[in-house]
Chains A and B, each alone.
Chain A
């Protein structure tokens, strides 16, 4: 569809909608209060049943609404039972008392795809996190609020400010991408985009977990759907203004035990002499403890967040406005080098253009600003802090050499002083984003509403980085600067710029029609279509020779590099563009008979530009059924207030693939996955070449996911105890996967094919328990339990494919994770150890292991062929937890409120991969317990120490696998709220609080932080990953 057609279609749509219609209305007013305490309720919603007309109570609990006599008012308030009230005539002093004890969670309405549903009528599986919980947590990114609060969702958080966590909805279905789709107010976005929504703007988050609920998103729903609903305006209500401010300090939770200078020197001497080398440090007595590089790179970093929001409305319009700013410094290197900050400006407006036509305009502008450091490798800032020579002093004391910080005379490449690395790290990354929607809702007939929504995301990013000339010590081979400050021949400093820009939109039109037959059969239906386009481009330029080797002048305009025959890289640039297009039609019928029997069916047909010519379209169908047992006449239990059984089955999909074609690549070196380079030089003059650079698979199609869900919801003890439990089983068929192919096909990248399948099964459990003690102390407990078992059930046509990942370097390039048939995706793969060889006799008695001497690790001969080789590699760990638990406890008493949130991840292994293991790099403290002779130790973690490791004790083995299970007290918060008693007070409530995040961490893991996010093949591989900080915060929340 071209843009012209689009405009046309929009115009027709508007025309259809704006045909006016009027009816007689009279104003009605009243107030809403809590039945138990008599407290006025501000923010309660009053709706005229069957219409869009609604109002919200003000801070005094008052409302005014236009309604015809005889119509029904529906009054709702979060956490209280909904009430309906039939209007006798004009009224001005209605008093509505809402009951807080009954149906606390069951009265809620959840936002599902293209509509809303009362939770009691849902027969699929949905996890919900409410705005109030998010407000208590005050996360930087919204996903954090899902961790441990939404059952069935696994969130593995990184420590890097603003970075995207691993989010897995119900296990690991796919290899090609596991990010769930994010729907913000009906508009599809990506998980990456969650960095730019202010958590304080969020009303609720619903995670659609099973096929019944996510199939309406078809090919995008395969990894689950996170539906975010932001706050919106309230018609006919007084303005509520909220102010929030918090300030916090972050610090590292723990550091890793490495050797101090004397211990290091002693070990180096031992390693060297054992290998026949010289004594490196002749006098150990003068060395002392040296420098603890971790203490030098970890800084205390501030974090602050401020928001102001206003919400209210006039008779025919409502608004929610908010302005927010947050800024998080990074604990590695401090806020100057590592940070994330965000400014948000939101205007969510809704208008009743006519009594039947509603217009919703949501707009959020975001400004992002970040700085980053090198991470996640042995030579990153943290990796260097762990591996660098501790005998070096912090400051450079050698006269006649440049640089503020000391250098090593032993480490002459790769690993540098982490402070020098930090000092030479210069970058900034700014971005601006505009997202939102235009939405028209039109009541075509009674109960038939048509919606047309245009949602968009526009992002512009601007990044710059500067690589200065650096001096790492007189003998360092990686120097780009000589000791006299001049540039090493052929080396240059350089500045790189990149501008990225993208514009994504989705245009969806659908109709909702609800009707009843015979009073007891109720139908809710929706049908519609959608088209979407993702498009973007990027341009970058790099230039060498920045004046004065200084960040101050690091800009393309100031740099002076120009290409010459000898240096073709002085000035370079690039540009690329991309797009995706989808078109979809969808429909859903929800049926309920007498609130007892629930049925739901969904169908979606998706077309994608990315699929092969043989499979442009895909159908996704799902169905679910529910039985509300407690509504049966025969059901008569005082204990059980509510009981619903649910089951669903259906398909969803995944389209993480690009269109394929046989292309010709032209040019020089390739930086692609197979380095399929081109070009040659004749007598040192380079000539570009061309060759086949890609292959096509016309049969390419979407990944098809079949998911079964069975669950129940039960409420006990006057609704004090609510349990929601689900069992799911999902199978992915036609897994998008790069097959293993013959090496003799050459280096043209192998195209993705639909080969392979995975199966995930698991249980999600949510338990909430609310209790009021002595009528004053309110206790609320919410537990979640999440478990998923994943298995790859097929790869290739013959099950032989083995996708390696989790690469790291410890002297050799190693790979520790594998995606392979018969195992959980991304499991750790290596050698099993069986203690240490104590003497030559043991070596002789064992399977042949080349190079082994006493003190070396004895590896296990898994295939019992008498020789230790690659065929003996096996499963040595699993980075994904067996289960996770969340426990949110909150207590209110008088003005005090207390929240404690605990998250536990049990059974996840961590692979320690941050040790460079070069002769002169620093070592883990465990080396002190090394084998030093027969009988000293038989623990495979502590082999003999030598520079010449002929046995390759450093190979990938369970020696480096640690139990990464942890319990984290993620949030502790104590607040006190002052309620205004006087009419003339300037505020309606004033709350102060103190918060500690990651207050306590209980784990056996010896690295920084056992929570290590990454792609499926990188999760749990600790290459010195950025740890999460402990944060102490104080803040105020004011409502005017």
Chain B
């Protein structure tokens, strides 16, 4: 009996020991270290120059996501119509075209969120500029210049936001965490502009005049953007000064053949000051985020539906969105070489080129018969998921734009310099008409209007028109435009619901 008891006790003892032993080793079993999954955490990062440089590249990335800012800038204006297959195709653009847009608009939501991701990325690098998360200081040659790019980009994102939405939440110290959702209010436009100017001034000091890699931000890009930002605030004298420094640097020139700069071979050319870079070498296929790849989604949109023809015919088919208006085509004077480059009259083109054997489908909705030639999709310039991967860069600031801005700044300055204004304006016109016969000689307000008209013709379909009209108080030229409402777009509804931001008036 005792023996049995002993055996049983022994077994129970063994069992209890085992249970104890199990529980003691449990704690480790349910701990988790991301390294078990080979995942890099923020503690592991920003410890070398290469980490900083790699992370700076991704501050550029959201530039590409702002892709639709260009079509919106023209569709919202008198330059272009939304087009599409029918009234409910690309609804977000249709509404912007008809000035019936509401706070629920997928395009505007993307343009808001993408810019803020850019700001958060820039802020994160700003946050750890002096010391990384581990408290170490990483120094390397060119760090200040690298931060010049970062501050330019943050300024660009804020400028984009303030142009589109007016007053916006302003934060610069760090990337916001989940706990900081709904903690901000909208800062006045003036404060946002002040921050943009600070960032650009810092960038101008730090940036080199020439970057080895084309597409990287230069000092001139920062100066040109600062000029534009000042112009938007009607700080004409300061704008004239900074724009003049771009012109006198003699780093840029107007290309003779206006059309050539919109071709692949014309990218990052002598007239280019700032371009958002796209490529087809990194094919992307996420229909859940069409603008988030390396390709330019806006190209496919412009294309002619069902376009077909011989192998020599250069264009590829697309979705007949963002169609130039007849009003725009009519605005060009005879002999202006820019007209054919800006608008493609498909019927005329077909007749002029019988050898191409062109067949196409008439744009089914809001047809104007005209297409956005500057950004028309061309054969062989995309890859992978063809709709998403066109290589065409978006020309954001060209030298011609700088000349026209400078002309405007001089014309509007308290002590106007119309001679300079005429000279800069006529440089642009001489290239357009290939002669001096079309020079403008007027002054004052007539000259001002001539400069604004020239901006329309020169920069049509490049996303400038709507904002130019609004900032110069000519919104009424847009059909359906309501003053004191349509100068800015509505804040996304989610920001009103979730973030408790106030809505722009009228929406």
Contact = CB atoms under 8 A, between A and B. Distances in A.
Say whether A associates with B.
Answer: yes
Interface of A: 1, 5, 9, 12-13, 15-16, 19, 275, 277, 412, 444-445, 450, 474-475, 477, 489-490, 509, 511, 529, 531, 565-569, 577-579, 581-583, 585, 607-611, 616-617, 659, 661-664, 666, 668-671, 673-692, 695, 697, 739-748, 750-751, 800, 811-813, 850-851, 869-870, 918-919, 947-952, 954-955
Nearest to A809: B287
B178 A697 contact: yes
Contacts of B91: 812, 952
A851 B379 contact: no
B182 interface: yes
Interface string B98-126: 10101010100100111011011100100
B473 interface: no
Contacts of B175: 692, 746
B499 A661 contact: no
Contacts of A689: 54-61
B259 interface: no
Given A581-B30, A743-B116, 4 more contacts: A531-B26, A748-B117, A812-B89, A869-B104
B45 interface: yes
Nearest to B118: A746
B422 interface: no
B138 to A, nearest CB: 15
Contact of B109 (A474, A662, A681, A743): A743
B289 A677 contact: yes
B124 A677 contact: no
A529 B26 CA distance: 11
Interface centre among A475, A581, A616, A690 (most CB of B within 10 A): A690
Contact of B380 (A489, A565, A578): A489
B201 interface: no
A666 B38 CA distance: 13
B142 interface: no
Contacts of B184: 742, 744
B365 A662 contact: no
Contacts of B116: 743-746
Contacts of A850: 98, 100
B156 to A, nearest CB: 14
Nearest to A745: B176
B283 to A, nearest CB: 5
Interface string B31-45: 110101111111011
Nearest to B116: A744
Nearest to A867: B102
Given A531-B29, A742-B499, A669 B293 contact: yes
Interface string B11-35: 1101101110111011111111010
Contacts of B361: 412
11 contacts: A1-B26, A477-B317, A669-B293, A670-B286, A739-B178, A741-B181, A747-B117, A947-B86, A948-B365, A949-B86, A951-B87
Interface stretch (B240-248, B331-339, B383-391): B383-391
Interface in B279-307: 279-286, 288-289, 292-294, 305-306
B169 A744 contact: yes
Given A684-B391, A947-B364, A695 B177 contact: yes
A951 B169 CA distance: 35
Given A743-B116, A744-B116, A687 B57 contact: yes
Interface of B: 7-8, 11-12, 14-15, 17-19, 21-23, 25-32, 34, 36-42, 44-45, 51, 54-61, 63-65, 85-89, 91, 98, 100, 102, 104, 106, 109, 112-114, 116-117, 119-121, 124, 169, 175-178, 180-182, 184, 213-216, 267-268, 277-286, 288-289, 292-294, 305-306, 308, 316-317, 359, 361-362, 364-365, 379-380, 382-384, 386, 391, 492-495, 497-499
Contacts of B176: 742, 744-746
Contacts of B215: 680-683
Contacts of B44: 664
Interface centre among A490, A509, A751 (most CB of B within 10 A): A490
Contacts of A569: 283, 383-384
Contacts of B169: 744
Contacts of A742: 176, 181-182, 184, 494-495, 498-499
A951 B87 CA distance: 8
Contacts of B60: 680, 689
Given A569-B384, A747-B117, A950-B87, A684 B102 contact: no
Contact of B22 (A511, A529, A611): A529
A692 B278 contact: no
Contact of B29 (A9, A577, A581): A581
Q: Interface residues of A: mostly helix, strand, loop or mixed?
A: loop
A661 B383 contact: no
Contacts of A677: 61, 65, 289, 292-293
B26 to A, nearest CB: 4
B325 to A, nearest CB: 18
Contacts of A511: 15
Q: 7 closest pairs, A vs B, by CB?
A: A675-B289, A689-B58, A689-B57, A746-B117, A950-B87, A682-B213, A683-B214
Interface centre among B32, B216, B285 (most CB of A within 10 A): B32
A473 to B, nearest CB: 10
Given A1-B28, A949-B87, A669 B181 contact: no
Contacts of B316: 477
A167 B56 CA distance: 47
A659 B32 CA distance: 7
B64 A680 contact: yes
Contacts of A679: 57-58, 61, 282, 294
B28 A19 contact: no
B178 A691 contact: no
A582 B86 contact: no
A686 B54 CA distance: 12
Contact of B294 (A582, A583, A669, A674): A669
B29 A607 contact: yes
Contact of A690 (B7, B54, B64, B499): B54
B379 to A, nearest CB: 7
Given A529-B19, A679-B61, A811-B88, A685 B281 contact: yes
A739 B499 CA distance: 12
Given A678-B58, A686-B279, A869 B293 contact: no
B102 A1 contact: no
B305 to A, nearest CB: 8
A738 to B, nearest CB: 11
B216 A682 contact: yes
B377 to A, nearest CB: 10
B277 A680 contact: yes
Nearest to B176: A745
Interface centre among B8, B85, B184 (most CB of A within 10 A): B85
A744 B499 contact: yes
A673 B292 CA distance: 12
A114 to B, nearest CB: 15
B32 A609 contact: yes
A949 B86 CA distance: 6
A389 B11 CA distance: 78
B129 to A, nearest CB: 16
Given A686-B294, A812-B91, A681 B32 contact: no
A84 to B, nearest CB: 28
Nearest to B18: A12
B178 A490 contact: no
